[in-house]
Chain A
Amino acid sequence: MINYIWAFIIIASILYSFVTGNYKIINNEILISSKTCIDLILKLFPMIALWNGIVTIANKSGLLNKFALLISPILSKLFKNIPKESNAIGYIASNIAVNMFGLGSAATPLGLKAMKELQKYNKNKDEASDEMITFLVLNTIGITLIPTTVISLRLSNGSSDASCIVLTSILSTFISAIFGLLLDYHFRKKRK
């Protein structure tokens, strides 16, 4: 799907610029996009590396695991049909914990393991189970404690209070989580 969207955006924009006659701007834009990209990467780079370093300490000291244990009782309530002995809840909890601290690279493998585990309890193997969808909703909501990428972009764009958006982000995530889970619950009920 991303292939089509990417191609569509480029084709439509270039055609549009021919129609309106400002293709010169597009010409420049294509030529300088690699420079724009380098600038952007340079803005993000230091913070990604720094935060990854800090969170790796939290990971190695077992802090993230502790945190995962803390949230797993709540998760057990959301995933009632998954047996206690399964590793699924553990993987889901770790995935969310790691995501909260912004260690995206470690979150994905855990998420994939969780999906694999959930697939074991799925009756229809090519159709998503209720639990999988709930997990995906939790995941796409993007529960993040510190949005490091955003903070570094704000810093490099001259913000005087770059981390002021931490609280608003957490609250807005929380609200969307509630609504997302409610809609998920509604769909589940409707099916039964």
Chain B
Amino acid sequence: MIIPLLVLFIIIYGIIKKVNVYDTFVDGAKEGVEMGLSLFPYILGMILATNILLKSGLLDAMLELLAPIFNFFHFPKELFPLAFIRSISGSASISTLNMILSTYGADSFIGKVASTMQGSTDTTIYIITLYFGSIGIKKTRHALKAGLFADLISIIASVIMVKLLL
């Protein structure tokens, strides 16, 4: 419901403001195509890393060690790879999410929580590195702590929200 409404609103508002809506759409889409293409090397690098991590069985072995902790918090261990990678790399988490959705199904509980996790947070470490790096900040104080804490909360909240609402 929200998507059609938003599209409708954006286009009507554009026409009222005398924007050439079709030309603008095409321009934007063109930029989107370039953006998609420029993602390729990043995603490729991350697919290489995450796929061999998952297929080598190393991650499963690590999960086995951590299983008591997950069980204690009732956190589904299938979601651990995504939770682990989400704050580090956007490309890696896209490829991990894709793997989770194709393994467990997009409409499964795991699939819905994974989607919510991906949709409800951004790549904290990348943003901190980029933004502070651009103005030469060396001492970042509690930025990383606060950012990662918020990520952790959003992971927990994703599980709870999907349980409550979907």
Closest partner residue, chain B, to A185 (CB atom):
B146
Q: Are A157 and B131 touching (Cβ within 8 A)?
A: no
Within 8 A of A (CB), among B12-59: 13-14, 16-17, 19, 21, 24-33, 35-37, 39-40, 43-53, 55-58
In the bound complex, CA of A140 to CA of B142 (Å): 13
B146 to chain A, nearest CB (A): 5
A169 touches B120 (CB 8 A): yes
Are B142 and A154 in touch, CB under 8 angstroms? no
Q: Does B7 touch A at the CB level, under 8 Å?
A: yes
Distance of A125 Cα from B153 Cα, bound (Å) = 31
Looking at B63-71, B72-80, B95-103, the stretch in contact with chain A turns out to be B95-103
Q: Give CA–CA (A20, B136) in the complex, Å.
A: 45
Contact B13–A9 (Cβ < 8 Å):
no
Q: Which listed residue (A44, A50, A125) contacts B94, Cβ 8 A?
A: A44
Q: Per DSSP, are chain A's interface residues mostly helix, strand or loop, or mixed?
A: helix
Report the separation of the CA atoms of residues A49 and B16 in the bound assembly, to the nearest whole angstrom: 24
Answer whether residue A173 sits at the interface, using C-beta atoms and an 8 A cutoff.
yes
Interface centre among B44, B120, B132 (most CB of A within 10 A): B120
Chain A residue at smallest Cβ distance from B12 = A61
Q: Please report which residues of chain B, range 120-155, place their CB below 8 angstroms from some CB of chain A when the two chains form the complex.
A: 120-132, 134-143, 145-147, 149-151, 153-154
Say yes or no: A140 contacts B150, CB within 8 Å.
yes
Nearest opposing residue in chain A for B26, CB measure = A53
Is A63 touching B13 in the complex (CB atoms < 8 A)?
yes
B15 → chain A closest CB, angstroms? 8
CA distance A9 to B92 in the complex (A): 12
Tell me the chain A residues, 1-45 only, with Cβ under 8 Å from chain B. 1-2, 5-6, 9-10, 12-14, 16-17, 20, 22, 25-26, 29-30, 33-34, 36-37, 40-41, 43-45
Q: Are B56 and A16 in contact (CB under 8 A)?
A: yes
Residues of A in contact with B (beta carbons under 8 Å apart): 1-2, 5-6, 9-10, 12-14, 16-17, 20, 22, 25-26, 29-30, 33-34, 36-37, 40-41, 43-45, 48-63, 99, 105, 108, 111-112, 115-116, 119, 125-128, 132-133, 136-137, 139-142, 144-147, 149-150, 153-154, 157-173, 175-177, 179-180, 183-184, 187
